Amino acid sequence: MDDATRPDPIAPDPAGTSPSGPRVGLIMGSDSDWPTMEAAAEALAEFEVPFEVGVVSAHRTPQRMLDYAAGAADRGISVIIAGAGGAAHLPGMVASATPLPVIGVPVPLKYLDGMDSLLSIVQMPAGVPVATVSIGGARNAGLLAVRIIATADPVLLARMQAFQRNLEQMVLEKDAALRR
């Protein structure tokens, strides 16, 4: 991955949308996850939700992962999106060390089509929830984070409702184009 596409380690608000601090922590186990995880960043930027992006590895930087998870709430983060591939322990381990909602994104790697990532993330023990999206479903992770924050933000809620009306309109237009 070249420097232009590589995410900075915990770079605040790469979209430049934040007048205050980031509300979503978007982390991933490796910079090689960024091509998948970028869709979450795009969704957050579309809704003007401030976020931070960084690489936090459960296996290669375990202490950094625990520090990140333990400190996120105090820094004003409301939701953590964590993506990882293969033996994808990052979302679950982060969930064990923070009271915040964690959304896990199974990143598909070269082998096993992401099934390994999915199963590593989705089968959490009782008491430690991770909201797992589909394999490669980073955009939905971003949209789910928006919805969670929108529960306490009427402006954001109205934006999400407009987004949903737009989705409906797109389907109706496709139907009209195909209908015989």
33 is in an annotated binding site: yes
Residue 66's alpha-carbon distances to 12, 138, 161, in angstroms, are 19, 22, 36
DSSP code at position 48? T
60 is in an annotated binding site: yes
DSSP code at position 89? -
CB of 72 to ligand RP5, least distance (A): 18
Residue closer to ligand RP5 (CB basis): 82 or 146: 82
Using an 8 Å Cβ cutoff, are 147 and 136 in contact? Answer: no
**Dihedral pair phi/psi, residue 49, rounded to 5°:** -90, 120
Say how many residues touch ligand RP5, by CB under 6 A.
12
Does 61 participate in binding ligand RP5 (rule CB under 6 A)?
no
Identified binder of ligand RP5 from the candidate list 32, 61, 96, 140, rule CB under 6 A = 32
Identified binder of ligand RP5 from the candidate list 14, 22, 50, 85, rule CB under 6 A = 85
179 is in an annotated binding site: no
Query: What span, in angstroms and rounded, lies between the C-alpha atoms of 95 and 102?
Result: 6
CB of 32 to ligand RP5, least distance (A): 3
Using an 8 Å Cβ cutoff, are 135 and 115 in contact? Answer: yes
CB of 96 to ligand RP5, least distance (A): 17
Give Cα 51 distance to the centre of its chain.
10
Give the residue numbers of the binding site: 30, 33, 60
Binding region for substrate: 30, 33, 60
Give residues in contact with ligand RP5 (CB under 6 A).
28-30, 32-33, 57, 59, 84-86, 107, 109
